[in-house]
């Protein structure tokens, strides 16, 4: 009877003892767990504050100015700006030249960004196929093109396409049966002007795409490519089903960045215009906003155009942002 009566008493002590030692009160675990959840947000606080301080004020100033009549007198402090509300937006909305420049800028950024990404991808693939000294020379050439200051690069490019002493005209005239004389590549027509501008912008942007894609290509295993080649896969099939899925995130981000950069291109177009025509037919959004806001002393209209470009940039990048949000939620 004694052994039977003691066994129910000892069984609970032996079974519940380890559970009590391993358990942690909920009040004690909630603190560290909560701090672990807040840690990423606390680490991002400094970067967010710097971003808001560096970019928040200019954007707010642009928004306020876009609703004001802000000219030379307001810039010099002689008169307080008057609020005209949506008058500046109505002005640019009814400006046919502004919409022509907008369409030209969107077409320019789409074409140039696409060509840049394609050439960058091809150069990245070339870097994976070359070895030793040849790859080093290619990488150094791309790095020098990327690191060259814009002013210095534009000076060289303007000299290359100069109609009197340009290398392009000189080399073309050496071809038998070709006699273009002193052809004006920059000032003869807007199409040729933007063709030259597209070549220059692409040349300056390709190294970034090439190095980014090359970094992504290093993540593709050589054993996988060799196995697919032994299985009879062609080069196009290896690129489509093995290489491209790895490079897809890289291509998306570099394409988005090039769209934004090419939509806001300013220095290259301005320097080309200094060497050629000054007509609005040769303007993109960056130069047209500068001529309206700064040179034309109509800062209100220039600010309204800037807000429009900001909205256009968000619209062009919305596809990538939407896919990024979907991946984060998944």
| pLDDT value at residue 131 | 84
* pLDDT tens, position by position, 124-143: 989 988 888 899 999 999 99
Q: Where are the alpha helices (DSSP H) in 23-55?
A: 26-51
Residue 259 to residues 105, 117, 147, 247, 327, Cα–Cα distance (Å): 10, 10, 20, 18, 22
Query: With a threshold of 0.85, does the pTM exceed it?
Result: no
Closest CA to 217 of 236, 237, 245, 257: 245
Residue 19, φ and ψ in degrees, nearest 5: -65, -35
* pLDDT tens, position by position, 205-226: 999 999 999 998 887 777 777 7
* pLDDT tens, position by position, 77-96: 777 888 999 999 999 999 99
Question: Percent of the chain, pLDDT > 90?
Answer: 46
List the domain boundaries for the chain: 96-297
Distance (Å, rounded) from C-alpha 115 to C-alpha 30?
Answer: 54
Would you say residue 29 has pLDDT above 60?
A: no
State whether CATH 1.10.3720.10 applies to domain 96-297.
yes
């Amino acid at each position: 009877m004694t052994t039977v009566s003691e066994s129910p008493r000892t069984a609970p002590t032996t079974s519940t003892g380890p559970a009590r030692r391993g358990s942690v009160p909920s009040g004690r675990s909630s603190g560290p767990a909560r701090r672990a959840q807040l840690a990423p947000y606390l680490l991002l606080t400094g970067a967010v504050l710097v971003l808001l301080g560096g970019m928040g004020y200019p954007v707010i100033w642009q928004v306020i100015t876009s609703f004001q009549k802000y000219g030379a007198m307001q810039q010099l402090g002689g008169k307080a700006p008057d609020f005209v509300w949506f008058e500046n937006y109505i002005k640019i909305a009814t400006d046919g030249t502004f919409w022509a420049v907008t369409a030209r800028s969107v077409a320019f950024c789409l074409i140039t960004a696409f060509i840049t990404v394609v050439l960058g991808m091809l150069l990245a693939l070339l870097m994976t196929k070359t070895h030793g000294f040849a790859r080093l020379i290619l990488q150094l050439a791309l790095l020098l093109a990327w690191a060259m200051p814009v002013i210095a690069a534009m000076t060289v490019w303007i000299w290359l396409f100069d109609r009197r002493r340009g290398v392009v005209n000189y080399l073309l005239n050496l071809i038998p049966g070709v006699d273009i004389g002193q052809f004006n590549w920059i000032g003869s027509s807007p199409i040729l002007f933007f063709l030259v501008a597209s070549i220059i912008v692409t040349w300056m942007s390709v190294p970034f795409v090439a190095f980014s894609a090359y970094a992504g290509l290093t993540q593709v295993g050589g054993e996988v490519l060799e196995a697919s080649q032994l299985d009879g896969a062609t080069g196009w099939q290896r690129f489509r089903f093995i290489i491209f899925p790895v490079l897809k995130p890289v291509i998306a981000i570099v394409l988005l960045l090039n769209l934004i950069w090419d939509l806001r291109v300013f220095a290259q177009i301005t320097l080309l215009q200094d060497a050629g025509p000054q007509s609005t037919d040769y303007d993109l959004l960056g130069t047209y906003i500068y001529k309206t806001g700064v040179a034309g002393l109509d800062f209100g209209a220039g600010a309204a155009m800037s807000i429009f470009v900001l909205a256009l940039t968000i619209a062009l990048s919305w596809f990538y942002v939407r896919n990024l949000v979907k991946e984060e939620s998944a």
